[in-house]
Amino acid sequence: MAISIGDRLPSTTFMILGENGPEAIESDGYFAGRRIALFSVPGAFTPTCSAKHLPGFIDKAAEIKAKGVDEIACTAVNDPFVMGAWGRSADAIGTVTMLADGNGDFVRAIGLEMDGSKFNLGTRGQRFSMLVRDGVVEQLNVEAPGDFKLSSADHMLATL
C-alpha cells in the first residue's frame, strides 16, 4: 500500500556522495524537525528527469525555500556515484541534495516502486514529489505513468 498524506516516512537509509566518498543518511534524522521538498525520478540522466524534473527544482529553489521549505532533495534508485555525477553535471550541488536509494529500499517502503524492466531498468521509483514536515507527509503528488505534471517544481510551488 502506498504512503498517504499524514503518514510518517519509514526508517530507511539513503546514500550521498560526500567529499570523502559515499555517506549514509538515516531518514529519521534527515527529515526530523525540517520541512523538505522531496522528489523522485525513475533514473538519473534519463530524458525527462534531466531535461525537466531536476532543472525545474534547481530553477525554482529560491522560490520554494521562500515558502518555508528548508531543503530540496531528489531521490532515485541509483547509486551515490551516479547521483553525485548527475548532481554535478546539472549544477545541482548546494541547491538540491541528491539522495541515492540504490537498492530501492525507500520507494519499496513507501509503496511507490515501479517495474522499469520493459526498458531494462529493473525496479525503480515512480515519478512523484512530496512535502515532508518533521518526517510526516504533508503533500503527495504521484504521476500517472509517462506523465510529468504533478511532481514538477512549478506544481509544488503553486501548492505551497
Q: How is the chain split into domains, by residue range?
A: 13-159
All 3 cell numbers of residue 89?
A: 553535471
Secondary structure of 5-73 in the HEC alphabet? Answer: CCCECCCCEEEEEECCEEEEEEHHHHHCCCEEEEEECCCCCCHHHHHHHHHHHHHCHHHHHHCCCCEEE
pLDDT band at 124 (very low <50, low <70, confident <90, very high): confident
Structural fold of domain 13-159: Glutaredoxin (3.40.30)
pLDDT band at 33 (very low <50, low <70, confident <90, very high): very high
- Give residue 7's identity as a one-letter amino acid code: D
Q: Cβ distance 24 to 100 under 8 Å?
A: no
The pTM for the full model equals: 0.95
- pLDDT at residue 48, rounded to an integer: 86
Tens digit of each residue's pLDDT (9 = 90 or more) over 71-116: 999 999 999 999 999 999 999 999 999 999 999 999 999 999 988 7
pLDDT band at 21 (very low <50, low <70, confident <90, very high): very high
Q: Average of pLDDT values for 43-69? A: 94
- pLDDT at residue 81, rounded to an integer: 97
Q: Inform me whether the pLDDT recorded for 121 exceeds 90.
A: no
Helix (H) or strand (E) holding 99: strand 97-100
Tell me which of 9-13, 18-22, 113-117 is least confident: 113-117
The active-site residue out of 16, 41, 49, 90 is 49
Q: How far apart, in whole angstroms, are the C-alpha atoms of residue 62 and residue 95? A: 9
- pLDDT at residue 143, rounded to an integer: 95
Tens digit of each residue's pLDDT (9 = 90 or more) over 65-76: 999 999 999 999
Cell 531521490 belongs to: 75
Q: Inform me whether the pLDDT recorded for 122 exceeds 80.
A: no
- pLDDT at residue 115, rounded to an integer: 82
Q: Cβ distance 72 to 102 under 8 Å?
A: no
pLDDT band at 46 (very low <50, low <70, confident <90, very high): confident
**Residue 49 among the catalytic residues:** yes
